[in-house]
């Protein structure tokens, strides 16, 4: 039995070993790599003459992130059109190696030369400032001569380029309300804060609400309970003379992302020991969940005005 097990093990090991078979060679230096480098420089600079010289007449390019069953790719004419448009509209457009990766050329025994690149595409639109910053991986397949590119397969961040496309259009993202019933939650919060009733001031908040204060040295959110403690300690030092609405609040009802109430307030405080009065402005953003309960608040004001 032991001999049978050993024989079976050796047989299976030999079978696995026999599966290894070289089908070509990989190069980190190769004439094809120089051609791809020249191609990339021509593409980012809009040099259509060089692009035409480096590609075959039947050149095709395919975005590997496209899952449309009717997608047929692009032609050499499309390639040159892209290059012209990019050079006319982008600033500092670059497609460069993404360290520590570098391109490889592969010579197959029974096939064309392939070049694989792993790069970053960067630049910004000179018309609207949109910044391109996305990984871009490409496969270049050469013709039989090994001197011209016959196919280009590339993949990049499709969502990033969709956002770039959207940036050149006019689109709505919800509705702004000057008056809306949910504004009452914020007005009541500041009205009760003015009277010093912290429990009523935060009745419209979720108990797990997060509070962000621009003056917090940690620049992080704190819990509602911790926020109440800070306010209680603050009100031991200061009397709130008044909190006055400045202008009017707006409700931003985003498409699919809930509502945000943005508001502006004038504060008047009096230090209980010194009698010193302090005036400052505050901008606040209250985020509401689907039930209309406040789950987040951001506060922006100048705390330095309250230093003794």
Whether 15 has a pLDDT exceeding 60, the answer reads no
Nearest to 119, CA basis, from 95, 154, 149: 95
Structure tokens at 157: 């961040």
Burial letters 204-242, b for 16+ CB under 10 A, else e? bbeeebbbbbeeeeeeebeebeebbeebeeeeeebebee
157 in the same domain as 117: yes
Mean pLDDT of 223-236: 95
Secondary structure letter of residue 289 according to DSSP: -
Residues in Cβ contact with 75 at an 8 Å cutoff, skipping those fewer than 6 apart = 59, 60, 61
Whether 2 has a pLDDT exceeding 80, the answer reads no
145 in the same domain as 180: no
Structure tokens at 188: 């009541």
182 in the same domain as 94: no
Q: Which of 143, 167, 191 is the last residue of a domain?
A: 167
Residues in Cβ contact with 29 at an 8 Å cutoff, skipping those fewer than 6 apart = none
202 in the same domain as 120: no
In Å, what is the CA distance from 2 to each residue of 10, 12, 15?
A: 12, 15, 20
Residue 3 belongs to a domain? no
Residue 16 belongs to a domain? no
Count up the domains in the chain and report the number. 2
Q: Give residue 21's pLDDT band: very low, low, confident or very high (50, 70, 90).
A: confident
Whether 1 has a pLDDT exceeding 60, the answer reads no
Residue 6 belongs to a domain? no
215 in the same domain as 110: no
% the chain with pLDDT above 70: 94
Q: Give residue 14's pLDDT band: very low, low, confident or very high (50, 70, 90).
A: low
Residue 13 belongs to a domain? no
Sign for the CA dihedral angle at 87, 90, 93, 95 comes to negative
98 in the same domain as 206: no
Residue 290 belongs to a domain? yes
Residue 111 belongs to a domain? yes
Residues in Cβ contact with 206 at an 8 Å cutoff, skipping those fewer than 6 apart = 224, 289, 293, 294, 295
Query: Tokens 């089908």 — which residue?
Result: 23
pLDDT in tens, 158-184: 899 999 999 999 988 899 999 999 999
Beta pairing class for 294-301 and 277-288: antiparallel
What residue numbers bound the domain in which 72 lies?
Answer: 22-167
pLDDT for position 219? 81
Element (DSSP H or E) covering residue 100: none
222 in the same domain as 150: no
Q: Which of 112, 133, 167 is the last residue of a domain?
A: 167
282 in the same domain as 159: no
Whether 12 has a pLDDT exceeding 70, the answer reads no
Whether 32 has a pLDDT exceeding 70, the answer reads yes
Residue 50 belongs to a domain? yes
179 in the same domain as 160: no
Q: Give residue 215's pLDDT band: very low, low, confident or very high (50, 70, 90).
A: very high
Residue 49 belongs to a domain? yes
CA atoms of 231 and 269, how far apart (whole Å): 13
199 in the same domain as 151: no
Instruction: Output the domain CATH number for residue 271.
Output: 3.10.450.50
Secondary structure letter of residue 1 according to DSSP: -
pLDDT for position 269? 96
Q: Give residue 271's pLDDT band: very low, low, confident or very high (50, 70, 90).
A: very high
155 in the same domain as 108: yes
Nearest to 185, CA basis, from 263, 283, 255: 263
Q: Three-state DSSP class for 108? A: strand
CA atoms of 209 and 294, how far apart (whole Å): 7
Residue 73, burial from CB neighbour count under 10 angstroms (0-12, 13-18, 19+): middle
Q: Which of 113, 146, 167 is the last residue of a domain?
A: 167
CA atoms of 285 and 290, how far apart (whole Å): 16
CA atoms of 82 and 119, how far apart (whole Å): 18
Q: Are 287 and 297 in contact (CB under 8 A)?
A: yes
274 in the same domain as 211: yes
């Amino acid at each position: 039995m032991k001999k049978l097990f050993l024989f079976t093990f050796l047989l299976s090991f030999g079978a696995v070993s026999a599966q290894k078979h070289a089908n070509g060679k990989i190069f980190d230096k190769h004439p094809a790599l120089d051609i791809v480098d020249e191609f990339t420089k021509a593409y980012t600079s809009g040099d259509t003459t060089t692009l035409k010289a480096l590609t075959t007449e039947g050149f095709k390019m395919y975005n590997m992130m496209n899952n449309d069953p009717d997608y047929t790719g692009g032609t050499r004419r499309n390639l040159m059109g892209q290059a012209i448009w990019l050079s006319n509209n982008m600033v500092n457009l670059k497609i460069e190696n993404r360290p520590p990766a570098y391109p490889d050329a592969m010579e197959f025994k029974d096939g064309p030369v392939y070049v694989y690149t792993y790069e970053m595409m960067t630049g910004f639109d000179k018309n609207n400032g949109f910044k391109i910053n996305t990984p871009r991986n490409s496969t270049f397949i050469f013709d039989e001569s090994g001197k011209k590119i016959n196919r280009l397969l590339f993949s990049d961040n499709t969502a990033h380029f969709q956002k770039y496309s959207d940036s050149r259009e006019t689109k709505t993202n919800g509705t702004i309300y000057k008056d809306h019933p949910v504004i009452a939650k914020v007005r009541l919060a500041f009205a009760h804060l003015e009277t010093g009733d912290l429990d009523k001031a935060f009745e419209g908040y979720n108990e797990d609400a997060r509070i962000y204060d621009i003056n917090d040295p940690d620049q992080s959110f704190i819990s509602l309970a911790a926020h109440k403690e800070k306010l209680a300690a603050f009100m031991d030092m200061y009397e709130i003379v008044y909190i006055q609405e400045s202008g009017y609040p707006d409700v931003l009802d985003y498409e699919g992302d809930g509502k945000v109430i943005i508001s502006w307030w004038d504060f008047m405080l009096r230090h209980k020991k010194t009698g010193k009065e302090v005036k400052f402005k505050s901008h606040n953003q209250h985020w509401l969940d689907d039930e209309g309960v406040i789950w987040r608040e951001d506060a922006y004001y100048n705390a330095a005005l309250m230093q003794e």
